[in-house]
Structure 1
Amino acid sequence: MRILLAAALLTSAAPIAAQTSDQSSAVPAPVLTTPDAKDVWTYAQPEIARVTHVGLDLDVDFDSRTLSGHATLDIQAQPDAGEIILDSDNLNISAVTNGEGRPLNWSVGARDDALGAPLTIELDGSRQIVITYRTKPGASALQWLPPEMTAGKKKPYLFSQGQPINNRSWIPTQDSPGIRQTWDASLTVPGDLVAVMSAEKLSGETGELLPDGRRRFRFRMDKAVPPYLIAFAVGDLQFKSLGPRSGVWTEASMLDAAAYEFADVEKMIDAASDLYGPYRWGRYDMLVLPPSFPFGGMENPTLTFLTPTIITGDRSNTDVVAHELAHSWSGNLVTNATWSDSWLNEGFTTYFENRIMEALYGEERAAMYSDLDWDGMMADLEVYGGPTGTGAATRLHGDPGATGGQLDYFKGSNFLRMLEKTVGRERWDAYLRSYFDRHAFQPQTTAGFLTDLRQNLLKDDADLELSMQLDRWAYAAGLPDNAVHIQSETLAEVDRDLAAYNAGGVAADVDTQGWSTQEWLRFLNGIPREQTEARLQDLDEALGLSDSSNAYVRSAWLELAIANRYQAAVPSLTEFATRVGRGLLIRPLYSGLMEQGEWGRDLARQLYSEAKPTYHPATAAGIEAIIEVK
């Protein structure tokens, strides 16, 4: 069986020639070359020639919406390697030379809509290449925001989002999570703006003022990271310290609210380190972006990117911060070798996030999150026939983008919770801490994890392994019968209110005073999808749902309203979908509309035509697939 290929699954590439650049003198992270580690989303052939370091020198031009400059790549290659293949997507390349300026032959192959195009460069003995290029205005990783789409309304904004394979639209490199690279960068921006990156700052908070009035900011990441974690933003940004290792960047009008919301981040770092080993990235700063940011958070090293939708004034959504912090171990430190193994990032991190929240806020708060995750997992499984269905395995096959909803998060984390329950928390924690140490700064596969688990936790205990159903968890569809459902007493109280309401009660009798986001979601998601117009009107007027400032609450309410074609909620839907670009909150709205016949389809397309300029390119592409725009 594939799981039993033991040591062969952890071998790295054959020895290849030493690199020559002083910039990346550290030993490069290994590249896994086993069949299960082959990345179908890259053109690279790292076993022949691979990138070990990226040096960027780019000019940020808001007028043309382009980046221009050059990338200097350090190469590690087999002695007889004649070429290196990089990933690129719509880059205007003007020259390729070696480190001494000698031109090298290069070509760009046919473009694939999903993968971009291969950039093949003849090495001619070179171990450093310099690519001069310019991005295109529609680069899939970049969102250029006009002033009116920012909080301050006066200055433009730019941010990148690389995961999973969008960074090839602004960096010509080998854009695969299994090909870890160190990097440095110099960004030149308008003089009244600030640049930040997911790396150590070398030029201070205000950068270097140039004679032409622009500013240059320099950064360095001396740890090999998967290239999707190279990230930056440029805007009218300010910083507020939260502790010796942490702080928050954002626009001035959001700074105090963000600092309040994330005040416990130093405690989170301590709790995470106590659980699974030292934090190895130096600082943990956060950047709160405009509402068009497509995700709840992005775990870019040293600078987590966050959506403002989690700022609700009650700190009930700081599990998002805990999640991105946990990625500093699961994802950034030990990384899925391919996106088919995304659960190794997201499932581990969702489990770890919950342990951080428990350490800080107690078992019941953590139980709320776990209970809702169970609901999410069951909803995702239902699409594939329920717990005994035939689709959506944990370790995904075929298209790496087909994640089965959030099963990589929820089923993946429940897999680890089962392991904890089976062997006991003390034994499990010791193992997981040692796992992060053994595989630090390396890629990993599902098979590799199971091999490590068998060798270092189970230690040939056949009966224990049989009880765990490891292969079924990792490779089969559905949900094994040893899954662990943590139930929350707080949400059980909400369930009682929900039962009374669903039995014919009125919304005014539901006491929502002091409810957290999680309690609101349990209530709203538990209301049957078929409701009368009068019932929806009563719910909305009594609880103020169409005007809710909590983006999670508004999204859940709008899902219910759409399911009933509740016309009175359309103005709220329009305002929300043209202001918020977080995929988790808006994709279900478009999906719901498309299920409502001609009324919904027409509204979805009209709404998208208005909202598209506010969405990140990745978000826009996802919604276009939902509403069938060609």
Structure 2
Amino acid sequence: MMFARILGLFPLALLFPIAACGSAGDAGGTAAAQENAVSIFASEEGVDTHSYARPLEARVTHVALDLNADFDAQRMVGTATLDLEVAEGAEEVVLDSKDLEIREVVNGDGETLQWEMGEDSGDAHGAPLTIRLGGATRIKITYASAPGAEALQWLEPEQTAGGETPYLFSQGQAILNRSWIPTQDSPGIRQSWDARITAPRGIRVVMSAEMLTPDGEPVDGEPGRLAYRFKMDEPVAPYLIAIAAGDIAFQQLGERTGVYAEPSMLADAAAEFEDLEEMVIAAEALYGEYRWGRYDLLVLPPSFPFGGMENPRLTFVTPTVIAGDKSLVSLIAHELAHSWSGNLVTNATWDDFWLNEGFTVYFENRIMEAVYGTEQAAMLADLGWTDMMEDVEAVGGLTAADTALHLDLDGRDPDDGMTDIAYEKGAVFLRTIERTVGRARFDAWLRDYFDRHAFQPQTSAGLLSDMRANLFEGDEADRIGLDEWVYEPGLPENAVHIQSNRFRAVDQAIENFVDNGSIAVINWPEWTTQERQRFLNGLPRDLSEERLETLDESFDFSEARNSEIRFAWLKLAIANRFDPARDSIEEFLLSMGRRKFVAPLFEALMEEGDWGAPLARRIYAEARSRYHSVTTGTVDELVDTGDD
């Protein structure tokens, strides 16, 4: 394996001299972080098979971008200057790239360096960009992204809320940022960064970093453009470098919190997220200082493929979370929690994606409990358990390899590991530990864990070692069965299932409605969104058309503003081939590109043969150009053209 070959070349004692990075004041912390990083890169679990990088030879430590956002050509064009840590005797650095047009590479003195683009993998991994260093520790790459760069979505004005200004946004997770930034695109290779981005006047640029020129500044010789500058001093995983540009306004929410959105959406967004500062305070009370300065949200156009993306300082959010009643803000708690689990301590490779998401789901639930109460948190945890079990069945049942937390994704797209198993089984694992050792001791350990591993990568093996050394007493680790939880498929018998007392009444209402069809048993006005989800998802998939008509006429499901309720209803309608819902299905799928909603609905339509497949093909033919590549990459495999 690669790590064995590298270790043979470079003994650990010679790798990355400590004096080469950090200031005198932080030399101790920097030395510890570097030692930890080197030991992870040299371990079997720390080898990232989704990156061409060889970090034990040469590693990117800082990225400086100077790019023009060319909306006409739909390309980012300019330079990336990389600072490197280079091991003694190393002669080249290997970067990740995907369809980049490399025009020139020079060293810090402007002297041309030799480079070679390797063979493209033909999939998400792209191609290795190998640069001969000739002793250089700083290199400058002049390049352009491809018009179809997978991380970037360029929207026409009519695809935005305002309808007058084009829009650009990026989505880098898991390995898409290599399509617009030539760097080592591995979550374990943390990099600080800065950027100067120019864009046409009237288009505001924001990024996931400190915004040094929020209103832009003139560009010499280009009166029609403004430049925006950004700085991220802390090292982050490269997938967290994010950009958006468009008609973007801002409203302050708290001392260090606020929301960005298109002007027509700003008031609704600010009202929905008015508790943001309170969430940050609750999170800090649980697990320590928020270390990123500001915590702002950016509400993106509806084609954004995820519910949210935890880019540091600036979480990207789908507009589908704006329900008008703050009922879906657990998503915001989730993205905020990533400021500790994922951004502060990051999975070293995508095989350990659960280290980001399992911890975050657990932390999210604790934030929701602190801000909105124990029962609200219990309902969310119970729904999460159901989602987990559905994904278990989807990947082949409890014996399937992909139900383990630590995965083997070698040769696969890391996106394959982004299932509710990573999220919810990971959270259940932590709840099981909490139940064993007690909440007070677990909280003390987790807070200390975030402090000790701040701004560092982590592996499953490293986590379990830390737990054994710093958390457990006596035979607690053996009683929990740590290795079984992390490395074996299935769900151990000691799994803690948080069950909501309020769901008992909902389940009784389901039974009564199925038996007699009366809506009198449904306490819809008093139910929370989570109770309503439980009801719709709990109904049998073979309801009569009369029963479905009664539900839709009584509660107007086909026009529901709440995206989770609309989604749950449409899944039920498709399973029953309910013709009156066809217009609602089409409108919903054309109105947004959130993969969580889009992919299951297209899959359900295709499963309904002559009733659903033609509708799916017709809708997707119109919708595909509106979706981000993250969404189309999934839906393309679900919707066939019907040409066979």
Shared topology, TM-score over 0.5? yes
Aligned to 1:192: 202
The one-character-per-residue Cα deviations of 1:54-84 (angstroms, maximum 9, x if unpaired) are 0000001111111100000001111211111
What is the distance in 2 between the residues matched to 1:75 and 1:404? 31
**CA 1:13 to 1:524, structure 2 compared with 1: closer, same or farther past 3 Å?**
farther
Aligned to 2:154: 144
Q: Does 1:98 align with 2:112?
A: no
The one-character-per-residue Cα deviations of 1:19-50 (angstroms, maximum 9, x if unpaired) are 87999998475242201111111010001111
Q: Does 1:67 align with 2:76?
A: yes
Aligned to 1:248: 259
Q: Does 1:535 align with 2:535?
A: no
* TM-score normalised over the length of structure 2: 0.92
Aligned to 1:8: none
1:230-629 to structure 2, matched below 5 A, reads 230-384=241-395, 386-387=397-398, 391-398=402-409, 399=412, 400-403=414-417, 405-459=419-473, 461=474, 463-507=475-519, 510-628=522-640
SS in 2 for 1:74: strand
Checking the alignment, whether the CA contact within 8 Å between 1:590 and 1:626 is kept in structure 2 is: yes
For residue 241 of structure 1, what is the amino acid of its counterpart? Q
**CA 1:522 to 1:206, structure 2 compared with 1: closer, same or farther past 3 Å?**
same
Q: Structure 2: where are the runs of 5+ without partners? A: 1-10
For residue 303 of structure 1, what is the amino acid of its counterpart? L
What is the distance in 2 between the residues matched to 1:525 and 1:13? 57
Checking the alignment, whether the CA contact within 8 Å between 2:211 and 2:229 is kept in structure 1 is: yes
Higher helix share: 2
What's the CA shift for 1:602?
2.7
What is the distance in 1 between the residues matched to 2:488 and 2:63? 39
The one-character-per-residue Cα deviations of 1:388-428 (angstroms, maximum 9, x if unpaired) are 66652111123443337310000000000000000000011
**Out of 200, 203, 207, which is 2:216 matched to?**
207
For residue 242 of structure 1, what is the amino acid of its counterpart? L
What is the distance in 1 between the residues matched to 2:150 and 2:107? 28
What is the distance in 2 between the residues matched to 1:230 and 1:404? 19
* TM-score normalised over the length of structure 1: 0.94
Equivalent pairs, count: 617
The ranges of structure 1 where at least 4 consecutive aligned residues each deviate by more than 6 angstroms after the TM superposition are: 18-26
Checking the alignment, whether the CA contact within 8 Å between 1:314 and 1:516 is kept in structure 2 is: no
**CA 1:248 to 1:404, structure 2 compared with 1: closer, same or farther past 3 Å?**
closer
1:171-186 to structure 2, matched below 5 A, reads 171-186=181-196
What's the CA shift for 1:499?
1.6
Q: Does 1:16 align with 2:16?
A: yes
For residue 503 of structure 2, what is the amino acid of its counterpart? L
What is the distance in 1 between the residues matched to 2:263 and 2:526? 28
The one-character-per-residue Cα deviations of 1:141-188 (angstroms, maximum 9, x if unpaired) are 001111111111111110000000000000000000000000000010
What is the distance in 1 between the residues matched to 2:156 and 2:526? 37
For residue 434 of structure 2, what is the amino acid of its counterpart? E
What is the distance in 1 between the residues matched to 2:401 and 2:142? 49
SS in 2 for 1:162: coil
Checking the alignment, whether the CA contact within 8 Å between 2:315 and 2:335 is kept in structure 1 is: yes
What's the CA shift for 1:512?
1.1
**CA 1:285 to 1:14, structure 2 compared with 1: closer, same or farther past 3 Å?**
farther
Aligned to 1:6: none
SS in 1 for 2:489: coil
**Out of 147, 167, 180, which is 2:177 matched to?**
167
Deviates more, 1:532-541 or 1:502-511: 502-511
**CA 1:445 to 1:315, structure 2 compared with 1: closer, same or farther past 3 Å?**
same
1:71-90 to structure 2, matched below 5 A, reads 71-90=80-99
SS in 2 for 1:329: coil
Checking the alignment, whether the CA contact within 8 Å between 1:508 and 1:543 is kept in structure 2 is: no
SS in 2 for 1:148: helix
**CA 1:271 to 1:458, structure 2 compared with 1: closer, same or farther past 3 Å?**
same
For residue 97 of structure 2, what is the amino acid of its counterpart? S
What's the CA shift for 1:382?
2.6
Deviates more, 1:508-517 or 1:410-419: 508-517
What is the distance in 2 between the residues matched to 1:523 and 1:506? 14
SS in 2 for 1:625: coil
Q: Structure 1: where are the runs of 5+ without partners? A: 1-10
Aligned to 1:3: none
The one-character-per-residue Cα deviations of 1:483-524 (angstroms, maximum 9, x if unpaired) are 111111222222222121122323465231143321221011
**CA 1:366 to 1:179, structure 2 compared with 1: closer, same or farther past 3 Å?**
same
**CA 1:373 to 1:145, structure 2 compared with 1: closer, same or farther past 3 Å?**
same
SS in 1 for 2:291: coil
Checking the alignment, whether the CA contact within 8 Å between 1:98 and 1:128 is kept in structure 2 is: yes
What is the distance in 1 between the residues matched to 2:188 and 2:13? 12
SS in 2 for 1:402: helix
How large is the Cα RMSD of the aligned pairs?
2.0
Checking the alignment, whether the CA contact within 8 Å between 1:142 and 1:158 is kept in structure 2 is: yes
What is the distance in 2 between the residues matched to 1:536 and 1:596? 17
For residue 435 of structure 2, what is the amino acid of its counterpart? K
Deviates more, 1:485-494 or 1:32-41: 485-494
